[in-house]
A and B are shown apart, each in its own frame.
Chain A
């Protein structure tokens, strides 16, 4: 009996988005990163091209993360007070494809630092590493609208990825990204309809669709991961079915979300029955990333070098 071919034929694809600009392209990056390009759902290579391999962006905070558990601080203990050194370590020692600078300290409740300080941090990281940079605001609209334009201008021409635009706050960030030649994260709270809406809103401002990365916020293993998984999977299927406004690469924030889970951060004394926290936290992060990858993710923000190494191996082995 003939075995029927049940492979899907997809008519759409995920756009390719390039982040970072070399000297010839008007920036100073030593290497650039291209993500997207999938023409089938992840790891179904008999249905179509897989596109570019997912990349890992390691988070660097602009302030010492006081609330991090010791197991997470340990690999960065010598660099936590210097974002530039921290970024350098992520790239040179831990193999990060990109660095994601999280501007936590500009938040009114987390330091209220000035735009000038944020600009100085951005410049120091651009100088310290040659990989493309993601610059993530503090997610306080008023503050981000004041700080991100200055940060954007300071990194003009570097084709960074800036976060982000939401349904209620997209005009300023989209305008500055457009003016300074950066890529833009469009953000929705685990809601595919709003995700599409934000893409329409920024494209109405003239923002090119091939410079957008979508972010549906992230839930870690045990904390809503399945909701995010199904939204991202639906986004990817819509993209492959030809929905132009959902055919963008996807980013997820695995490090931060995984390490919020008590299963990841509880010390050995707090949870002796759960096994060593040195292994437990990275495992929580690894499993979250490895699972979400299968829903269609192109950039993964991560924290722990052990998790980074495990996920890198996973993406390479599966490719």
Chain B
């Protein structure tokens, strides 16, 4: 599982405060804790905390890179903020995200390629967020075709088929499992599949339980990455357990430790 740690996000009040005051301590703490918890990438989102988002993104990345070597996931819908982030990242990097719209892909794919970055592509187009399996897979296929056109390494593409909250539309999770299954056959090697996991339980009770149950089912269906709360130990344990059950890791009595 490529766990993308979600906590360094200006939507959280502690991070928002840290960005406003340019106080690195809380950011460093989150970077270290999330890395220790098994994060493969640290998502960095400036939110609405700063007037100058480009500057805030660069500050956050620099602060994080001082304390950990964990690759950064630059999370912004704004191209200039993404570019600002790319200027300061020192190692492997993931861009989060661009829409599955050909014109947008033509901008982001060359940019990612130039920086040797991986790229999260949402199955969203001009018609908005698709509500069924077919439209999602169709956009995923457009993304894969564009990646090939740009000679972009498919193993650096992360398809995000948009996970909606369970209390918005209960039919959606089942649709998504089908999407995971189908996206695996889009190319060889296939792209990664990612979701924003915490969104699934927005506005519900038993959030942790909902998240980890969805995630284990999703892993069985082919999901291999998620933007998630890596500090939720039960969630991380369930993830490892699911992967052992699927024979992705060799079992040992200390398997939770081994995978970490």
Contacts and interface: CB of A to CB of B under 8 A. Distances in A.
Nearest to B188: A4
Interface residues of B, number: 8
A193 B250 contact: yes
Contacts of A56: none
A194 B252 contact: yes
Interface in B212-260: 249-254, 257-258
B254 A200 contact: yes
B40 to A, nearest CB: 13
A217 interface: no
Contacts, number: 26
A201 interface: yes
A90 to B, nearest CB: 36
A200 B249 CA distance: 14
Interface string A243-287: 101100000000000000000000000000000000000000000
B250 A246 contact: yes
Contacts of A201: 254
B251 A193 contact: yes
B257 A196 contact: no
A200 B255 CA distance: 9
A194 B255 CA distance: 11
A226 B252 CA distance: 22
Contacts of A115: none
Contacts of B258: 196, 200, 245
Nearest to B253: A197
Nearest to A243: B250
A194 B257 CA distance: 14
Interface of A: 192-194, 196-197, 200-201, 204, 234, 238, 243, 245-246
16 contacts: A193-B250, A193-B251, A193-B252, A194-B252, A196-B250, A197-B254, A200-B252, A200-B254, A200-B257, A200-B258, A201-B254, A204-B257, A234-B250, A243-B249, A245-B252, A245-B258
Given A194-B252, A238-B250, 12 more contacts: A193-B250, A193-B253, A196-B252, A196-B258, A197-B252, A197-B253, A197-B254, A200-B257, A200-B258, A204-B257, A234-B250, A246-B250
